[in-house]
Structure 1
């Protein structure tokens, strides 16, 4: 290939990837919509979910642990927080030291699955050098989860990686994939078995967006970044199955209905042969009677009105896209702004409404095996302590004691877990969406229903 044709080809690739990235970024700030024509089998939520369903909570290391080691995100917060651009991460909610009480709180609610991530930067502070004390500390955390009768769901990388890898180009480095493979071998050999589940890399598309935020990648790196993620996932999947042939492994992705068929081609379709279940993160919906998602464009997440019914849409989409694969809601939650919402939506109501639609999906035959509530406690939301997702509220910036204070979500989740969902007479409290912007016109005349097959949600 001549120099000119190579340059032209490079520009074409850059244009295609930039266009793809632009579409993904556009959708990332827009919420989700209910599925048109959902085939409800009858009135109410359906029967309680079967015994063995995974009722979980979710956390991530950098966001809750504190005492954070040198990593891509620690460097970014250290550099930007003095100028007020982001909140300093500090000790977060100090889960590193307070894990016994937090794990006990999860168990007390009846939770049977505890999602956490282990910090690669803590375990491998220098290339090829592993910290025995950090590994032993994670041993104690994971043993505590098992000891309370819960299954660990371990995320290998949740947006963070060691500072030394950042110095070498981060996930774009030629060293990144083999280094991740060695890390995956180490942690799966140590913690696989006894039902432990695995998420290899958290939300690849959002991961790329974060890497852009901290200056680690540029738009034209989109294609290579995704190639690296796919290659890394394959190594993580293989490592988990070498350590435990019965391991359940996934790579989770956010549900983005305005472009989900497209985003599936970026990650989901490329790893469909190496996932044991489909992991979904679902947070927002958009419809003609709910355009509040625009607030997410300037990070005012608590101003976005939640649409719990759209979890049904997410489940239906992935069941169609990846038939035969079990489906797990790896993350779902509702933010407040420092503990408050202008619309007054209650966390307990949000959880009960969500359980209603989970039960409806199961009753309608969708292969849903689990649900994780994000998050057990308030945490560091990638630059800010303002968005609060915790079942337990923690005022990190104003309370040195880091007291965990239960929200209404704690009792609601305890009841949901104990009963396998909500009762047959429960009806959603929050107004549903009408006319999904992703499926007009069908969703306007054939919406998902509360009372029987074809009764539209009230707007």
Structure 2
């Protein structure tokens, strides 16, 4: 890779990220059903109707996986704690779930890894989905109770706590576009989910502050949005797309407002008195997590439903997901966050990575495209630091090939290959290259 650890400021953290439902094996340890389990059983929702029942069996193999992090010279591990594992019906505590995360955090610390916890990474307990899920304001209060329970158990040992992972995916992708659980295409459900997931962040942050937690934030996903051409219609479409995909969440959380371009379509469907929640949503936090994968181009779709936008592919090389490889977009996102929203607040790149159709050949995986992808994006973060963004760390997505939601086990994002029949782990060329680049020179 085209950098070394000493190119970054002292204390800069290199890590890898995963998520509970995607790797743990949700059939183990008394975990309850989630809305992803039921969504996967619907026709055409998930490739081969696959779910996270076994996944990578991290529940039993976590020591082996944490060894990979330690051996790879990583400083930190971003993981999530499954609500449905800790509270299978969303409300009743499962001792086995708490015990697992207790063991997991202790095992990280024993290997010198800083635990970066995410509270909610999409595994909504099915019992709460039955009551409307994120369309129901009561889910936000139940989330607060989950925050209390898990923080009482492991909060004394984690480095940071993020409330929500990618609220855009939780709400818009899942309730308007229908690509993720619960798979709706309903603008009223969308407006409510987009507000309630922000409220859940605010309630979660309030519960954390009440316990004296001081390193708390949120993880937002951003796309670098551009107009597909230089016409006024395309520029308007890009502005609207940016308001929905990017500005809705960061502006609510840092400024207590929603962008007018998004409210133009969503306002009639918002929960009553939603304005009263904005102060709690926008209370101060300690860091921002930035997830970035690609650039999106938008043109106008005047004959379609609101928001009247049409996405188009960019011209660059694509990943296995069909996403354009565009490292400049990460630099633009990081500097934009610092300039327009968070100032000198610490920023972490909490996810960045790519899927590729990796195969084991002669006992190895030669993923040169990923190797270059990771190097170029880490260099984009380095440039953002030089340009004034207070970027404190970079977490590659993902440590392991895993359950990639609606794409099942077909898309491979990991720096470590997983054979989903035998569960054998094989570090890829990108893992070895990053290990070498971030080695500590004593």
TM range (shorter): 0.7 to 0.9
Task: Pick closer, same or farther for the CA change 1:283–1:128 going to 2, 3 Å.
Answer: closer
Cα distance in 2 between the residues matched to 1:221 and 1:419: 49
Cα distance in 1 between the residues matched to 2:389 and 2:100: 39
The match for 1:234 among 191, 202, 220 is 202
Answer yes or no: is the 8 Å Cα contact 1:234–1:274 preserved in 2.
Answer: no
Cα-Cα RMSD: 3.0
TM-score, L = length of structure 1? 0.73
TM-score, L = length of structure 2? 0.76
Aligned to 2:16, the other structure's residue is in SS state strand
The match for 2:327 among 294, 308, 314 is 308
Q: Does 1:380 align with 2:403?
A: yes
Partner of 2:353: 333
Partner of 1:100: 63
The match for 2:147 among 177, 180, 184 is 184
**Which is bigger in relative contact order (C-alpha 8 A, separation at least 6)?**
1
Aligned to 2:348, the other structure's residue is in SS state strand
- How many residues of Structure 1 are paired with residues of Structure 2 in the alignment? 368
Task: Pick closer, same or farther for the CA change 1:306–1:256 going to 2, 3 Å.
Answer: closer
For residue 188 of structure 1, report the CA deviation from its aligned partner: 1.6
Question: Per-residue CA shift, 1:260-313, capped at 9, x if unaligned?
Answer: 45544411111114332221111113689xx855899xx974444422233211
Task: Pick closer, same or farther for the CA change 1:256–1:307 going to 2, 3 Å.
Answer: closer
Counterparts of 1:37-436 in structure 2, within 5 Å, are 48-68=7-27, 69-80=32-43, 86-208=49-171, 209-211=173-175, 212-213=178-179, 214-215=181-182, 217=184, 218-258=186-226, 259-260=241-242, 263-272=245-254, 273-285=283-295, 292-293=313-314, 301-322=320-341, 323-339=343-359, 346-383=369-406, 384-396=408-420, 400-418=421-439
For residue 191 of structure 1, report the CA deviation from its aligned partner: 1.5
For residue 96 of structure 1, report the CA deviation from its aligned partner: 0.9
For residue 83 of structure 1, report the CA deviation from its aligned partner: 9.6
Task: Pick closer, same or farther for the CA change 1:302–1:181 going to 2, 3 Å.
Answer: closer
**Larger Rg: 1 or 2?**
1
Task: Pick closer, same or farther for the CA change 1:292–1:263 going to 2, 3 Å.
Answer: closer
Aligned to 1:362, the other structure's residue is in SS state helix
Question: Per-residue CA shift, 1:114-168, capped at 9, x if unaligned?
Answer: 1111111111113531011111111101111111111111111111211110111
Answer yes or no: is the 8 Å Cα contact 1:180–1:232 preserved in 2.
Answer: yes
Task: Pick closer, same or farther for the CA change 1:114–1:46 going to 2, 3 Å.
Answer: closer
Answer yes or no: is the 8 Å Cα contact 1:335–1:387 preserved in 2.
Answer: yes
Question: Per-residue CA shift, 1:180-221, capped at 9, x if unaligned?
Answer: 111111112222234521121111111121343334542222
Report the structure, 1 or 2, having the larger strand content. Answer: 2
Aligned to 2:394, the other structure's residue is in SS state strand
Cα distance in 1 between the residues matched to 2:316 and 2:409: 17
Q: Which 5+ residue runs of structure 2 have no aligned equivalent?
A: 227-240, 255-282, 299-311, 361-366
Partner of 1:450: none
For residue 316 of structure 1, report the CA deviation from its aligned partner: 1.3
Cα distance in 2 between the residues matched to 1:405 and 1:45: 24
Task: Pick closer, same or farther for the CA change 1:133–1:157 going to 2, 3 Å.
Answer: same
Aligned to 1:335, the other structure's residue is in SS state coil
For residue 45 of structure 1, report the CA deviation from its aligned partner: 10
Answer yes or no: is the 8 Å Cα contact 2:293–2:353 preserved in 1.
Answer: yes
Task: Pick closer, same or farther for the CA change 1:349–1:83 going to 2, 3 Å.
Answer: closer
Answer yes or no: is the 8 Å Cα contact 1:59–1:115 preserved in 2.
Answer: yes
Question: Per-residue CA shift, 1:95-121, capped at 9, x if unaligned?
Answer: 111101001101111111111111111
